[in-house]
Amino acid sequence: MTELLTAAQMRAIEQAAIASGEVTGLELMERAGRGVVEAIFEEWPELATTSHKAVVLCGPGNNGGDGFVVARLLKEWGWEVEVFLYGDPEKLPPDAKVNYERWGELGETFAFSGTFYHPERRVAYPDVFFDALFGIGLTRPVDLGEEYADTAESVPGDGLRGNLRHVAIDIPSGLCSDSGKVLGAPFLADMTVTFHGFKHGHLLDFGPTLSGKVICKDIGLPAGVGSGAFGNFPYSDRVTSAFDRELQFDQVMRLAKTRVKTPHDDVHKYTHGHALILSGGPGKTGAARLAARGALRIGAGLVTVGCPQTALWEVASQVTAIMCRPLDGAPGLTEALEDERINALCLGPGLGLGADTQALVLAALKATAPRGPGSSPGQDRSEHNPAAPAPEPGPRPTSTAAPAPEPGPRPASTTPPAPEPGPRPARAVVLDADALTRFERNPQVLFDALHQGCVLTPHAGEFKRLFPDIAEKLDAPATTGPAYSKVDATREAAKRAGCTILFKGPDTVIAHPSGQCSINSSAYERAAPWLATAGSGDVLSGMITGLLARGLHPFDAAGTAAWLHTECALSFGPGLIAEDIPEELPKVFRALGL
Ligand SMILES: NC(=O)C1=CN([C@@H]2O[C@H](COP(=O)(O)OP(=O)(O)OC[C@H]3O[C@@H](n4cnc5c(N)ncnc54)[C@H](O)[C@@H]3O)[C@@H](O)[C@H]2O)[C@@H](O)CC1
Ligand SMILES: Nc1ncnc2c1ncn2[C@@H]1O[C@H](COP(=O)(O)OP(=O)(O)O)[C@@H](O)[C@H]1O
Ligand SMILES: [K+]
């Protein structure tokens, strides 16, 4: 599992390292520049063999300083290098100034004021264009004139680029490192070389589109924000992601191994939980059937579709391993839930927007709310307190399988596993689609009934209906950096709702009211745009429900299901329809060695 950094966290880590006396800012800058050169030679080995040409556009801060280091190293390697500086050399911060001067012993720096034209310009057709304009210090929109915009934004293959490779240092200029939003004219990179850790902005929103491919170079800072040596941020401030397919032996993998597979011989189906998926009426049962298939394939011991009597034959004629039962309205649901073995519910897909849906949701939440002192609905709606210690793992529900022993050795992780964000009640509920939209007029009614065993899975439209003020902040065009991000929005929503929220999209963000947060990125090597197909969200809801039935904590269930959902899409490939997702799970499990 990779930990992602905000600009402020990156600065705090750097400053702590510098203050400790172990490293200087100048050394870090040298390593950063060296990392960029290494990365381009690794990516394009042909660049390392013969002399090539580069243009480096440096900005007024330390990102510009990295650019001067790159210029010097390439010149020493025998390249022709042309350097432009946007800003006043006298005002460069100290480390950048030193590197400006070091470069000055090898070559000239041309002032960039909106044009790359210069009478003495020598490098007519560069092989690499380096963007060292702005990094994590971008505070306002980039506006450097049309010539810059043309150079920065030209799309690969449009004839302007030819063999010219665009390389962004740390983060493409114009991309907000915390939110992935665009501030002014953005730089469109073929490759971005970042340092120490990926930034939120590499994964969110426009981040993947603008970054091209992100390579992270170690610059000798202490490993991982969770290491405790420096940047010892509380869990409530951390964001993790398993976006790199080679990082499979991470927390997601461990969870999948220990919880999806149970290595005991004496288990029976009820030890794997019983999921109940509620369906809409005749002609509207497909979504619930998709969810049910997801729940069963991911490992729930039993899955029942509860539907109105009028839809019973429609459901019964199309399911086999999945059971179905008539279940009319809230009284019917309350009665069904007298069977305490039902430990996970899913409401929303195909449920419709009638009054019944609201009553069903409220009945489900009432019947599943944890009982006993200190466990009333909304108990997780705690105030965000970065100084608070990480929450202790809570007890597991008794009706589920005992956790399996840790799997065998795994590659060294940069961080210790995160503690679980508080206890979960014995019964958990996933609310999706119509179960969310039904509360558009009065979300507070829903929030008052939610409890910490719930997971809400809105897409952007549903999110806006429940959290219009938060969505407005998120959707507002960025005017300053760091801008409000999908991570900020999902965390704020989770705190307000008092439960786990999985905010869907290619950059799915999962947040718990404690602040714990992860991003399931379907970008870069995990890009699977064919997941945007009717019903794929229904399957995801079912997969989360299945993992909840297996006893996972809502935050873990949501993250693990989202990750597996993307894995299924990658494994199947283009042409996928929602029905294919659950059917691909066995193959994905096998590939994971389960
Ligand atoms: N501090 C360190 O020790 C290290 C920093 N490194 C580099 O330093 C970068 C961060 O440096 P800085 O904090 O100096 O920030 P940046 O270099 O990203 O930019 C900050 C400067 O740009 C100006 N600025 C911001 N947005 C602007 C806009 N739209 N138009 C015009 N000017 C604008 C600011 O006023 C400030 O002068 C990182 O991204 C990384 O590349 C690396 O060398 C690693 C070590
Ligand atoms: N471009 C994309 N790349 C990867 N996954 C995507 C993309 N767009 C949407 N998804 C995922 O596809 C699913 C769609 O869910 P949803 O919008 O609820 O659709 P439906 O209601 O048809 O089931 C979500 O899991 C979402 O994260
Ligand atoms: K940059």
DSSP 133-199: S-STT--S-B---HHHHHHHHPPTTSSSSTTPEEEEESS-TTB-TTT--B-BS----SEEEEESS-B
The residues, any chain, with a CB within 8 Å of residue 506's CB and separated by 6 or more, are 208, 521, 522, 523, 527, 529
Nearest C-alpha to atom 15 of ligand 1 is from which residue? 137
Of all helices (H) and strands (E), which one includes residue 521?
strand 517-521
Q: In what order do the strands lie in the sheet with 191-195?
A: 109-111, 80-85, 53-58, 128-132, 165-169, 191-195, 214-217
Separation of 558 CA from ligand 2 center, angstroms?
14
β-strand partners of 325: 306
Q: Which of 20, 136, 181 to mutate to test the pocket of ligand 1 (most atoms within 8 A of CB)?
A: 136
**Ligand 3 center from residue 119 Cα (angstroms):** 26
Q: What residues have their beta carbon closer than 5 A to ion ligand 3? A: 131, 168-169, 173
Ligand 2 pocket: which residues have CB below 6 Å? 433, 459, 504-506, 508, 522, 528-529, 531-532, 534-538, 540, 565
Atom of ligand 2 nearest to the CA of 536: 23
Q: Has 559 been labeled as part of a binding site?
A: no
Rounded to the nearest 10 degrees, what angle do helices 580-591 and 286-298 cross at? 10
Candidates 423, 434, 323, 334; CA nearest to 380 is 423
CB-based contacts of 303, cutoff 8 Å, min separation 6: 274, 275, 276, 277, 292, 295, 296, 321, 322, 323, 546, 549
Is 141 labeled as ligand-binding? yes
With H, G, I as helix, E, B as strand and everything else as coil, classify residue 576.
coil
Does ligand 1 have an atom closer than 6 angstroms to the CB of 87? no
User: Is 391 annotated to bind ligand?
Assistant: no
pLDDT tens over the chain, length 594 residues: 678 999 999 998 899 889 989 899 999 999 999 999 999 999 999 999 888 999 999 999 999 999 999 999 999 999 999 999 999 999 999 999 999 999 999 999 999 988 777 666 666 678 999 999 999 999 999 998 888 888 787 654 444 456 789 999 999 999 999 999 999 999 999 999 999 989 999 999 999 999 999 999 999 987 654 443 335 677 678 888 876 555 444 555 555 555 555 556 556 666 789 999 999 999 999 999 999 999 999 999 999 999 999 999 999 999 999 999 999 999 999 999 999 999 999 999 999 999 899 999 999 999 999 986 555 454 444 433 333 333 333 333 333 333 333 333 333 334 444 555 566 678 999 999 999 999 999 999 999 999 999 999 999 999 999 999 999 999 999 999 999 999 999 999 999 999 999 999 999 999 999 999 999 999 999 999 999 999 999 999 999 999 999 999 999 999 999 999 999 999 999 999 999 999 999 999 888 877
- Which residue's CA is the nearest one to ligand 1's atom 41? 63
Dist. CA 536 → ligand 2 center (Å): 6
Task: Say if ligand 1 is within 6 A of residue 506 CB.
Answer: no
pLDDT attached to residue 152: 81
Give the number of whichever ligand sits closest to the CA of residue 61: 1
Helix (H) or strand (E) holding 85: strand 80-85
Domain ranges of the chain: 2-233, 251-262+269-374+429-591
In 440-535, alpha helices (H): 443-449, 460-466, 468-475, 486-497
Residue nearest to atom 42 of ligand 1 (CA): 29
- The position carrying tokens 């924000």 is 225
2-233: which CATH number, 3.40.50.10260, 3.40.50.720, 1.10.3210.10, 3.40.1790.10?
A: 3.40.50.10260
Is beta strand 109-111 parallel, antiparallel or unpaired with respect to 80-85? parallel
Q: Is 30 helix (H, G, I), strand (E, B) or coil?
A: helix
Asked if residue 66 has its Cβ within 6 Å of ligand 1, the reply is yes
CA of 31 to the centre of ligand 3 (A): 16
Cα-Cα-Cα-Cα torsion 112, 113, 118, 121, nearest 10 degrees, comes to: 20
Ligand nearest the Cα of residue 529 is: 2
Name residue 306's amino acid.
Answer: G
Length of the chain in residues, anyone? 594
The residue among 305, 300, 306 whose CA lies nearest residue 271 is 300
112 in contact with ligand 1, CB cutoff 6 A: no
Atom of ligand 2 nearest to the CA of 578: 23
Can you tell me whether residue 115 is helix, strand or coil? Answer: coil
Distance 28 CA to ligand 1 centre (A): 14
Contact (CB, 8 A) for 178 and 158 = no
Q: Looking at residue 394, what is its pLDDT?
A: 36
* Ligand 1 pocket residue status of 110, Cβ below 6 Å: no
What's the 45 CA to ligand 3 centre distance in angstroms?
22
Instruction: Dig out the tokens for 465 from the structure.
Output: 């209906």
Give which of 137, 318, 235, 140 is closest to 511, Cα–Cα: 235
Q: Which CATH class is domain 251-262+269-374+429-591?
A: alpha beta
Cα separation, 242 vs 21, in Å, equals: 33
